[in-house]
Structure 1
């Protein structure tokens, strides 16, 4: 407890010095103080990407996001720096991954096939399809369907985390959070409107998918921890998560 208070007092003093002088030395001290946030974000995101993407590369991009967060943050707004920084750290990492263009075209095509199958089966059945119905519709085994979900997982995560849409003109979601220093009324309204649409989209998901999203994004648990709570394997949680994101991605596509 004493260490937390000491850390809080130290960073509070640093923020005051940096806000007043904008000296690089104070900025760098703040960056070092919050490097644990980069490590935390990399740990969460890194588990969702292929093994050839090294955590060291993600960490480097994350530090860039942290620097941006420190330089932009305004302590006088009384908002929590950690929440703001995590958004920019994630944004920087995902922007770098998009530049690499490491996902094969065939995986993009498979993601589109699953999205189309989701819509067709929902209309035909009047409910969410089971994994077995999904697989039968696609003409593959259930095991192959699960393998397919694992392959498309990164392509689903990146657009939702980085952009609301796939088109070039759409802004990254992190940029839709108004800058603390330039917060216009239209930006605030836009953010609230998107929040309501996202909330409605989530409310339509099956209970298990809603629970996984809540535990992952709000309670910030790892997939393995969620699996223990739900009594299923980590890979099963990953499948549920991916299917939920597929549905949200489809519903948010109408938000222009």
Structure 2
């Protein structure tokens, strides 16, 4: 659990003119963002986490967002806060080893087996073919897809964070704008399927299960396609 001194001091920000009562009001109004981000991240990683811890981290990020926004909450605040809340949760997932070593090893086996079967078959293997080759169940396959997808997500977001730190490090709003422009430029030349998957996840904030229902695909297939889209986007950003 978080300790008390991790909460920002209400009196420490000399530039803030917001009252404690106003902050409490905004925390209550936008608390739904914390629950949404927690569900989003939990589906991404495919693991069971302590939701109390994750939501407390989200609340800290929400309070920080309220103070850093620099003006009264308007129609753009929710998107601003959601990104910061999600980022704080992602940092926590990185801090703790949420991927057991055995699962990481199995995810690497999944990657290698997928490539091997693709060479043999001349096409992407089906879920049943992968399960048979790895001697695992469909539920286990889904969990491995979530692990490999989370690794790709971590790689992409780490690269974006490094770019934001190098560019306009003293102006957070400018660096976020440049990061958004980088993503838009890289996505512009991607296949429509890849763009759709990324837009559903990032723009519409849908989780894998919701995307699967929307596209009438299995959840495992959506995870697989989403990882491929993330890998392609990362490569484009690296060479941009």
Structure 2 CA distance for partners of 1:128 and 1:145, relative to 1, 3 Å? same
146, 151, 155: which one pairs with 1:153?
146
C-alpha contact 1:77 1:180 (8 A) present in aligned 2:
no
Distance apart, 1:68 and its partner CA? 1.9
Q: Deviations over 1:25-59 (max 9, x none)?
A: 433332222112112222333345433x1221211
Where does 1:33-72 land on structure 2 (aligned, <5 Å)? 33-48=29-44, 49-51=46-48, 53-72=49-68
Distance apart, 1:220 and its partner CA? 3.8
Where does 1:176-187 land on structure 2 (aligned, <5 Å)? 182-184=172-174
Is 1:140 aligned with 2:137?
no
154, 164, 171: which one pairs with 2:156?
164
Q: Deviations over 1:155-178 (max 9, x none)?
A: 523651x55166xxx454896898
C-alpha contact 2:110 2:134 (8 A) present in aligned 1:
no
C-alpha contact 2:149 2:226 (8 A) present in aligned 1:
yes
How far apart in 1 are the matches of 2:21 and 2:170? 23
- Residue 94 of structure 2 corresponds to 98
Structure 2 CA distance for partners of 1:64 and 1:199, relative to 1, 3 Å? farther
Structure 2 CA distance for partners of 1:67 and 1:140, relative to 1, 3 Å? same
Structure 1: 5+ residue runs without aligned partners? 1-18
Structure 2: 5+ residue runs without aligned partners? 1-14
Is 1:194 aligned with 2:183?
yes
Q: So what's the TM-score if we normalise by structure 1?
A: 0.64
Q: Deviations over 1:124-175 (max 9, x none)?
A: 7665443355456xx325x536523313414523651x55166xxx454896
Distance apart, 1:80 and its partner CA? 0.5
Distance apart, 1:97 and its partner CA? 1.8
How far apart in 2 are the matches of 1:127 and 1:197? 27
How far apart in 2 are the matches of 1:217 and 1:55? 22
Where does 1:240-251 land on structure 2 (aligned, <5 Å)? 240-251=221-232
How far apart in 2 are the matches of 1:100 and 1:133? 33
SS, match of residue 21 in structure 1: coil
Structure 2 CA distance for partners of 1:114 and 1:246, relative to 1, 3 Å? farther
**Greater relative contact order structure (CA < 8 Å, 6+ sep):** 2
C-alpha contact 1:87 1:174 (8 A) present in aligned 2:
no
Q: Deviations over 1:83-107 (max 9, x none)?
A: 1111111111121122111211222
Aligned-CA RMSD value:
4.1
Structure 2 CA distance for partners of 1:156 and 1:248, relative to 1, 3 Å? same
Q: How many residues align?
A: 222
Tell me whether 40-49 or 96-105 shows the greater mean CA deviation: 40-49
